[in-house]
Amino acid sequence: MVWIIVISVIVFITLFGLVIFSWRNAKRSIKPTVVETGREIEWNKRKGLWLDFDSCNKTEYEVEGKDGYILHVMSAETADTRGTGRYVIICHGHTSSRFGAVKYANSYLKLGFTCIMYDARCHGSNAPDICTLGNIESLDLAKVITDTRKRFTDLKVLGLHGESMGSSTVLIETSMDPPVDFIVADCGYTSCFDVIHEGYGNIHLGFLAHPVNLAGKILYKVDLKKTCALKALENNHYPVLFIHGAGDTFIKPHHSKKMYEAARMNGAHCELILVEDAGHASSRLVAGFDAYTGYIGKFLKDIGIL
């Protein structure tokens, strides 16, 4: 009798612990604690990623995303980008904001592109909401694309650039056949569930990915398996440049390798660059401004945009 009670208590504690663990990890992804704007700007400046962005002509405005959700947007241009007709929409990563996209904006400004950066759903200056790490966010991006084409009447070329969650967002967008000319995907992932499963698998606890996803579905009605860039690329016809840190241990390079192979199956021009010694979301930092700008510039020349 005593042993039955002891075993029952152990089972109860284990199950209770699993519930709490799953809830906390699901919440961390779906209801993230975002980086404070001032802190993010200061970090970018300290790392030398801000460059002369303060000298750009910037305009703040709002765009209605899916279901009327308000997105805070910022455009940045210089005398050299004005009149070129080239625009790029940059999507930041998880817990970041439009100011985290500045490290990529500088490269595009150098290449003659006006940059559109916006806070993803429940990030930056936007209202609290749930985050699906690319699924619903791609529907918001569709609205930003439409607004960009209406707002900037001189637009001739429009590209998308995404980092991590932003990469997932721009790649999932391809399944909606958006009116864009190219895509750059930095440190993206095949699917959210793959990242969770792989992360726990590294410590031989891959099975925990399932209760975490179940918690997301029960508590927030979010199935992270549906955020799947790899599936979205099945019928891809867009030129895509994949960039990934060769030393990324959070989202491993094989994610971009798999997506690169999928994206070019239908004959689309795709390129893959692995940046040596770069960890997650640090390819721009490790490669440096000139090299990273060179990756994008060469790609755009290869597809006839520059």
pLDDT truncated to tens, each residue of the chain (306 aa)? 655 654 544 443 444 344 454 446 657 788 989 999 999 999 999 999 999 999 999 999 999 999 999 999 999 999 999 999 999 999 999 999 999 999 999 999 999 999 999 999 999 999 999 999 999 999 999 999 999 999 999 999 999 999 999 999 999 999 999 999 999 999 999 998 998 888 777 776 667 778 778 877 887 888 888 999 999 999 999 999 999 999 999 999 999 999 999 999 999 999 999 999 999 999 999 999 999 999 999 999 999 999
Q: Could you tell me if residue 35 is inside a domain?
A: yes
Structure-token match 């210089």, residue found: 78
pLDDT at site 34: 92
Q: Is residue 268 part of a domain?
A: yes
Partners of 72 in the β-ladder: 62
- Res 197: pLDDT: 83
Residue 6 lies in a domain: no
Kindly state whether residue 184 falls inside one of the protein's structural domains: yes
Q: List the CATH number of the domain containing 286.
A: 3.40.50.1820
Q: How far apart, in whole angstroms, are the C-alpha atoms of residue 100 and residue 217? A: 29
Whether 265 is covered by a domain: the verdict is yes
Number of domains in the chain: 1
Owning domain of residue 147: 31-191+227-302
Give me the pLDDT at residue 49, please: 97
Query: Is 298 part of a structural domain of the chain?
Result: yes
219, part of any domain: no
pLDDT of residue 220: 85
Does residue 147 lie in a domain region? yes
* Residue 196, CA distances (Å) to 62, 192, 248 in order: 33, 7, 15
pLDDT at position 282: 97
